[in-house]
Amino acid sequence: MVIEDKFDVAVVGAGPAGIMAAGAAAEFGAKVILIEKNKQIGRKLRLTGNGRCNITNAEFNLKKLIENYGEGGKFLFHAFFIFGPEKVINFFNSLGVKTKIEEKNRVFPASGKAMDVSIALEKYLLKNKISISLGSQVTKVAAKKNAFKKREIEKLIVGNKEITAKKYIFCTGGKSYPITGSTGDGFTWANDFGHTINELSPALAPIRLKENWVKDLQGLALSDVGISVVQDGKKYFQETGDILFTHFGLSGPLILNISKKIGNLLKHGNVKIRLDLFPELNMEDLDKTIQEKIKKNPKKFIKNILTDFMPQRFLSIFEKRSSIKIDKQIANFSKSDRKIIVKFLKNIEFEATKLLGFDQAMVTSGGVSLSEINDKTMRSKIVDNLFFAGETIDIDGKTGGFNLQACWSTGYLAGKSAADSKTA
């Protein structure tokens, strides 16, 4: 077996967290090797933001920023303080990637091409003289006890080579989009070394619905609608945002953001999703609005009035689910008819049957327990010379650049800490 040169830092996984960890470690003076099973770096990165790469979110208030990560947000505060959204934007600008801020503070490359981000990062790694080993599968992680009787990694077995380093950083990602190489290897290794791996499940995932007629709405996007989630008659939460109908159910930013909560509820039984097309109006005010529209258009047909309140493709669904014939004139329109319309607009009910799996989920929920990682360094509290970054950690955020920001920040902090002699 060939023994490779000894490195200061070995980073496993060349996704966004791994690339940043390797680059930061090298910038702080470490001799670094970056090991990736794919034949190119940042494979999954090239797919993000529908190929546009939502680099980060321009939320510069750190207290507000961490609110987008649920219970794990506080863990990220120090990483964001060290390398937050503003520094990420400046970092990419320094690499020649001009950025632009779009709706809801989402930051994209000005070119709109994820490939430009990936190419810039490749140049960044080469500039910092990082050894890059592509198409290299780590088949074994060997451990030993050090002089202080603490467990530490001794070497990595990669093909017919042994790679040794003073410090190791696992940036192997989660289990989402397994075709990109995210198969959960890091979870297995961490678990073998005594780390707790919190339950892994798809997050930011589309939702499959029971109703077959939703396929007739495929491609329909709705903005600023309300969604209420109900189980056994109890409303658990409600949110407002943008949704997208698919041939199997629902997707879009709002649905992706609440999918984790829905997935947890589905473990305990059926879940109802109620759509409100006018969340800013109560039923009484919406009724008055419809009355005013009717008074101004007394000769119109009901279907012509309804298109002012619902998408065209909802008309046939409404007619099937109500007793109202939409091709009759407003003159034949009763108060009870109006009440039926109001109820429909405020409460279109679906039944969620499942989340789509890891092959469709944008990120993974669960991972290495935060209680076993030092949030000031990303260093393992169990394995002396091991650090974690990115999706391997039990952190997942909302859609809109938040998950990539967590990768950049934890990757940078892990790389800096691994290279810093004070953490030796």
- The full DSSP string for 346-409 is H-EEEEEEEE--TTT-SEEEEEE-GGGB-TTT-BBSSSTTEEE-GGGBS----TTTHHHHHHHH
The lowest-confidence range among 315-329, 339-353, 358-372 is 315-329
The lowest-confidence range among 40-44, 96-100, 391-395 is 40-44
Alpha helices in 29-184 (DSSP H): 48-51, 62-65, 77-82, 85-94, 114-127
What the block records as the tokens of 338 is 């109006």
pLDDT score at 148: 62
* Terminal alpha carbon distance of the chain: 28
| C-alpha closest to that of 36 among 55, 17, 18, 9 | 18
**Interatomic CA distance for residues 368 and 131, integer angstroms:** 27
**Interatomic CA distance for residues 334 and 302, integer angstroms:** 11
Question: Taking 90 as the threshold, does the pLDDT of residue 178 lie above it?
Answer: no
Whether pTM exceeds 0.85: yes
| Torsion (CA) 284, 288, 294, 295 in degrees, nearest 10 | 150
Which amino acid, residue 44? K
| Average confidence (pLDDT) over 191-220 | 94
pLDDT score at 359: 85
**Interatomic CA distance for residues 354 and 377, integer angstroms:** 37
Of the pLDDT bands very low, low, confident and very high (cuts 50, 70, 90), residue 320 is confident
- Name the strands in the sheet holding 386-388, side by side, starting at the edge strand that comes first in the sequence: 131-133, 32-35, 7-12, 165-170, 386-388
Question: Taking 50 as the threshold, does the pLDDT of residue 423 lie above it?
Answer: no
Which segments within 134-270 are labelled E, that is strand? 138-145, 151-158, 161-163, 165-170, 197-203, 207-209, 221-231, 234-245, 249-251
pLDDT score at 131: 96
Higher pLDDT, 194 or 328: 194
| Average confidence (pLDDT) over 241-253 | 96
pLDDT score at 20: 98
| C-alpha closest to that of 237 among 264, 210, 214, 217 | 264
Question: Taking 80 as the threshold, does the pLDDT of residue 368 lie above it?
Answer: yes
| Average confidence (pLDDT) over 284-289 | 93
Alpha helices in 128-246 (DSSP H): 185-192
2-202+362-423 sits in which CATH class? alpha beta
pLDDT 10s digits, 377-418? 999 999 999 999 999 999 999 999 999 999 999 999 999 999
Burial of 2 (0-12, 13-18, 19+ CB in 10 A): exposed
Of the pLDDT bands very low, low, confident and very high (cuts 50, 70, 90), residue 223 is very high
Question: Taking 80 as the threshold, does the pLDDT of residue 328 lie above it?
Answer: no
Of the pLDDT bands very low, low, confident and very high (cuts 50, 70, 90), residue 422 is very low
**Interatomic CA distance for residues 305 and 238, integer angstroms:** 28
- Average pLDDT of the chain? 92
Which amino acid, residue 238? Q
Question: Taking 90 as the threshold, does the pLDDT of residue 59 lie above it?
Answer: yes
**Interatomic CA distance for residues 167 and 145, integer angstroms:** 14
Which amino acid, residue 27? E
pLDDT score at 124: 97
pLDDT 10s digits, 107-131? 999 999 999 999 999 999 999 999 9
The lowest-confidence range among 47-51, 73-77, 221-225, 373-377 is 47-51
Structural domain boundaries in the chain: 2-202+362-423, 206-356
